[in-house]
Amino acid sequence: MKFLRNIFDNAHAALNKSEKTKKFFPLVDSVDTLVFTPNHTTQKGAHIRDAIDLKRTMMFVILAMIPCLLFGIYNAGHWHYHALGEAGGYMDNFMSKLGIGAWYVIPIIAVSYAVGLGVEFIFAIKNGHAVQEGFLVSGMLIPLIMPVDVPLWMVAVATIFAVVIGKEVFGGTGMNIINVALTARAFLFFAHPTSMTGDNTWVAGIKDMKTDGTLVDGFSGATSLGDLAGAKSKYAEAAVALAKDKGEVVVAGLKAEGDAMATKAVSLMDSFWGFEVGSVGETSAFAALLGGAFLLWVGIASWKVMVSFFLGGLSIAGLLYAMGGNPFYEVDPIQQLMYGGFMFGMVFMITDPVTAAQTGTGKFFYGFIGGALGILIRMANPAYPEGVMLGILIANVCAPTIDHMVIRANVKRRMKRLKTA
Partner 1 sequence: MSDKAKEPLFSAKNKKLISDPLNDTNPVTIQVLGICSALAVTVQMKGAFVMSIAVLAVLILGNVIVSLMRNIIPPRIRIIVQLVVVAALVIIVDQVLKAYVYDASKTLSVFVGLIITNCIIMGRLEAFALGNKPWASALDGLGNGLGYGLILVIVSFFKELFGSGSLFGFPVFGDAAAGTGLYSIGYENNGMMLLPPSSLVIVAIIIWVQKARNPKLLEA
Tell me: does residue 79 bind partner 1 (CB under 8 A).
no
Residue 255, C-beta contacts closer than 8 angstroms, at least 6 positions apart: 234, 235, 238
**Rounded Cα distance, 67 and 88, in Å:** 23
Query: Does the protein bind partner 1 through residue 107 (CB under 8 A)?
Result: no
Binding mask 157-176 for partner 1 (x = CB under 8 A): --------x---x-------
Work out the number of other CB atoms within 10 angstroms of the CB of residue 262.
22
- Interface with partner 1: number of residues (CB under 8 A): 12
Select from 203, 223, 227 the least CA-distant residue to 215: 203
Cα(347)–Cα(328) distance, rounded to whole angstroms? 24
Whichever of 99 and 151 has its CB closer to partner 1, that residue is 151
| Among positions 112, 176, 179, 195, the unique one binding partner 1 when judged by CB under 8 A | 195
Q: How far is 227 from 316, CA to CA, in rounded Å?
A: 20
Min separation Cβ 178 and partner 1, Å: 13
State the nearest-atom distance from the C-beta of 380 to partner 1, in Å: 21
What is the DSSP secondary-structure string of 355-398? TS--SHHHHHHHHHHHHHHHHHHHHH-TT-TTHHHHHHHHHHHH
Among 36, 90, 94, 153, binds partner 1 (CB under 8 A): 153
**Shortest distance in whole angstroms from residue 394 CB to partner 1:** 14
* 194 touches partner 1 (CB under 8 A): yes
Q: Is 55 in the site for partner 1 (CB under 8 A)?
A: no
Per CB under 8 A, the list member of 88, 193, 353, 360 interacting with partner 1 is 193
State the CB neighbour count (10 A cutoff) for residue 66. 15
Quote the crossing angle between the two packed helices 285-298 and 303-323, to the nearest 10°: 150
Identify which of 376, 207, 209, 399 has the alpha carbon closest to the alpha carbon of residue 302: 399
Question: Does 90 help bind partner 1 (rule: CB under 8 A)?
Answer: no
Does 191 sit near partner 1 (CB under 8 A)? yes
Minimum Å gap between C-beta 170 and partner 1 is 11
Burial of residue 356, with CB atoms counted within 10 A of its CB: 0-12 exposed, 13-18 middle, 19 or more buried: buried
- Regarding 187 and contact with partner 1 (CB under 8 A), the answer is yes
Q: Sign of the CA dihedral 13, 15, 19, 24?
A: negative
Nearest CA-CA partner of 223 in 341, 106, 104: 341
| 18 lies in the binding site for partner 1 (CB under 8 A) | no
Which residue, 207 or 264, has its beta carbon nearer to partner 1?
Answer: 207
Binding region for partner 1 (CB under 8 A) out of 172-180, 193-201, 279-287, 396-404: 193-201
Span interacting with partner 1, options 189-197, 275-283, 351-359, 397-405, rule CB under 8 A: 189-197
C-beta separation of 276 from 71 below 8 A: no
The distance of closest approach from Cβ of residue 370 to partner 1 in the complex, given in angstroms and rounded to an integer, is 21
The least CB distance from residue 187 to partner 1, in Å, is: 7
Residues that bind partner 1 (CB under 8 A): 151, 153-154, 165, 169, 187, 190-195
